[in-house]
Amino acid sequence: MIPVFRPSMGDEECDAVSAVLRSGWIGLGPRTKEFEERFADYLGVRYAVAVNSATAALHLAAKALNLEGAEVVTTPMTFVSTNHALLYVGAEPVFCDIEPDTLNLDAAKIEALVTSRTKAVMVVHYGGYAADMDRILDIARRRKLLVIEDCAHACGGEHRGRKLGAIGDIGCFSFHAVKNLATGDGGMVTTNDEAVYRRLMKLRWLGITKDTWSRESGDSHGYSWYYNVEELGYKCHMNDITAAIGLVQLAKLDAANARRRALTERYNRALAGLSEVETPVRRDYMTMPASHNYVIRCSDRDGLHEALKAKGISTGVHYIPNNHYEMYRKFRGATPVCDAVWKRLLTLPLFPDLSDEEADRVAAAVVAHLRAH
Ligand SMILES: Cc1ncc(COP(=O)(O)O)c(C=O)c1O
């Protein structure tokens, strides 16, 4: 069976984990700090805070930006973590429709949803393809809104040469098993704002003012055992085992993303000219997509899913619109484009170790099914 996603791990990751296990320090410590510094450098931001998932990253971001009680314009075309994070802090998601081709927030529809209670826009760079950040930032500036970038799909991607996650007020990354940079589970929050950074550092470890590593390593001047608890934080920091994998994966990220882009182009060529299929689109501002997934819009989505399964090819659907879930139906915002397009979405296998031959087999199976029907 060809899976939809598969992590790409090698001897370097195994060696890095082994070194941490033998080091005597496997919790939050020096590797986590190093990963944060390298990640911030890679992105071109001042601060990065390592956590245990993007769900936690998004939750802490919403908390650090004080979104309690506010409305947040958001997308229904995402994994439910994006919007759960708003509910965790008592913010209210307001659903904005998406563009039918990029599946990103439709910037032209944001402003009509803004009220005196709106405090932020939640942007998901779907599939690793940048949302229309020029227009979104323009609205945010004029209407005094904060911008959160959910970069779960977008690690290493760029908008007009700037790394995604370095453009809005705060960026949230996932290192879940199938993501572009994979550590099993893990996440990162990025920002240029020192006050937000300090709050995030506290929130990720129960509201405690200094972590065990800075106490141990003598950053704490004097009373190394002393700490204060300033607010109700959470237990969601990263550990050094995860960070060690992350450091290796970060060094491989650009090459892995280049392979994802090459496979994307290979699929695009193989599927070009099929009237029943639309392939991912690339706008001029998407100077470097992270190409996390390969999502086609097609007729007979469910039939194609079954036909590919019968040929040993797994596919997926990303996503059921969040405002279709029972618990999200009560929230404001009409999304007719999303309501229609999601029924045509099918995610084909895409991961760096997918061979050209496997990609050709997938594309040939798509073509054969659609020609036959
Ligand atoms: C767009 C988006 N946001 C957030 C998440 C949550 O990521 P994590 O599994 O690291 O919590 C995911 C995971 O699939 C995602 O795709």
Separation CA 28–CA 217 (nearest Å): 12
Predicted confidence at residue 273, as pLDDT, reads 87
Question: If we measure between CA atoms, which residue out of 295, 35, 1, 318 comes closest to residue 175?
Answer: 35
56 shares its domain with 160: yes
Index of the ligand 1 atom closest to the CA of residue 175? 10
The answer to whether 146 and 65 have CB atoms below 8 angstroms apart is yes
342 shares its domain with 299: yes
The rounded Å distance from CA 62 to ligand 1 centre is 15
107 shares its domain with 216: yes
Question: If we measure between CA atoms, which residue out of 114, 125, 60 comes closest to residue 332?
Answer: 114
32 part of a folded domain? yes
Best residue among 51, 74, 174 to mutate for probing ligand 1's pocket (most ligand atoms within 8 Å of CB) is 174
5 part of a folded domain? no
159 shares its domain with 203: yes
Specify the CATH number for the domain of residue 332.
3.90.1150.10
Strand, helix or coil for residue 146:
strand
The rounded Å distance from CA 54 to ligand 1 centre is 5
The rounded Å distance from CA 153 to ligand 1 centre is 8
Backbone torsions φ then ψ of 236, nearest 5 degrees: -145, 30
Final residue belonging to a domain, choices 211, 230, 251: 251
Residue 273 CB neighbour total at 10 angstroms = 8
350 shares its domain with 202: no
Question: If we measure between CA atoms, which residue out of 227, 189, 184, 130 comes closest to residue 17?
Answer: 184
The rounded Å distance from CA 373 to ligand 1 centre is 35
Separation CA 279–CA 296 (nearest Å): 5
The answer to whether 261 and 313 have CB atoms below 8 angstroms apart is no
Predicted confidence at residue 257, as pLDDT, reads 98
Q: Could you read off the pLDDT tens digit of each residue along the chain, which spans 373 residues?
A: 999 999 999 999 999 999 999 999 999 999 999 999 999 999 999 999 999 999 999 999 999 999 999 999 999 999 999 999 999 999 999 999 999 999 999 999 999 999 999 999 999 999 999 999 999 999 999 999 999 999 999 999 999 999 999 999 999 999 999 999 999 999 999 999 999 999 999 999 999 987 666 766 665 555 678 889 999 999 999 999 999 999 999 999 999 999 999 999 999 999 998 999 999 999 999 999 999 999 999 989 999 999 999 999 999 999 999 999 999 999 999 999 999 999 999 999 999 999 999 999 999 999 999 988 8
Final residue belonging to a domain, choices 216, 251, 286: 251
Backbone torsions φ then ψ of 73, nearest 5 degrees: -75, 130
Residue 308 CB neighbour total at 10 angstroms = 21
Separation CA 263–CA 244 (nearest Å): 28
209 part of a folded domain? yes
Predicted confidence at residue 212, as pLDDT, reads 64
The answer to whether 330 and 87 have CB atoms below 8 angstroms apart is no
Fill in the amino acid letter for 18.
Answer: S
6 part of a folded domain? no
Q: Which residues contact 32 (CB under 8 A, 6 or more apart)?
A: 50, 213, 237, 238, 239, 240, 242, 243
Residue 141 CB neighbour total at 10 angstroms = 10
Domain span at residue 345? 253-372
138 shares its domain with 232: yes
Final residue belonging to a domain, choices 251, 278, 297: 251
241 shares its domain with 274: no
Predicted confidence at residue 19, as pLDDT, reads 98
268 part of a folded domain? yes
Best residue among 52, 55, 86, 98 to mutate for probing ligand 1's pocket (most ligand atoms within 8 Å of CB) is 55
141 shares its domain with 226: yes
- Omega prior to 319 cis, within 30 of 0: yes
Check 163, 179, 202, 252 and give the catalytic one.
179
The rounded Å distance from CA 325 to ligand 1 centre is 17
Question: Is 144 annotated in the active site?
Answer: no
Alpha helices in the chain (DSSP H): 11-23, 30-43, 54-64, 81-88, 133-143, 194-203, 212-216, 240-271, 301-310, 336-341, 356-372
**Can you give the pTM of this predicted structure?**
0.97
Predicted confidence at residue 218, as pLDDT, reads 62
Taking CA atoms only, the protein residue closest to ligand 1 atom 16 is 79
Index of the ligand 1 atom closest to the CA of residue 176? 10
Residue 303 CB neighbour total at 10 angstroms = 13
Predicted confidence at residue 12, as pLDDT, reads 98
274 shares its domain with 228: no
Ligand 1 pocket by C-beta < 6 Å: which residues?
53-55, 78-79, 81-82, 124, 150, 152-153, 174, 176, 187
Which strands, in side-by-side order, build the sheet including 187-191?
A: 47-51, 187-191, 170-174, 146-150, 118-124, 71-74, 92-95
Predicted confidence at residue 215, as pLDDT, reads 64
Residue 363 CB neighbour total at 10 angstroms = 19
Index of the ligand 1 atom closest to the CA of residue 53? 10
The rounded Å distance from CA 215 to ligand 1 centre is 32
182 shares its domain with 294: no
Taking CA atoms only, the protein residue closest to ligand 1 atom 9 is 176
Specify the CATH number for the domain of residue 20.
3.40.640.10
95 shares its domain with 214: yes
Task: Quickly list DSSP for 97-132.
Answer: -B-TTT-SB-GGGTGGG--TTEEEEEEE-GGGPPP-
Predicted confidence at residue 47, as pLDDT, reads 98
Could you give the number of structural domains in the chain? Answer: 2
Index of the ligand 1 atom closest to the CA of residue 124? 1
179 shares its domain with 134: yes
Best residue among 60, 81, 234 to mutate for probing ligand 1's pocket (most ligand atoms within 8 Å of CB) is 81
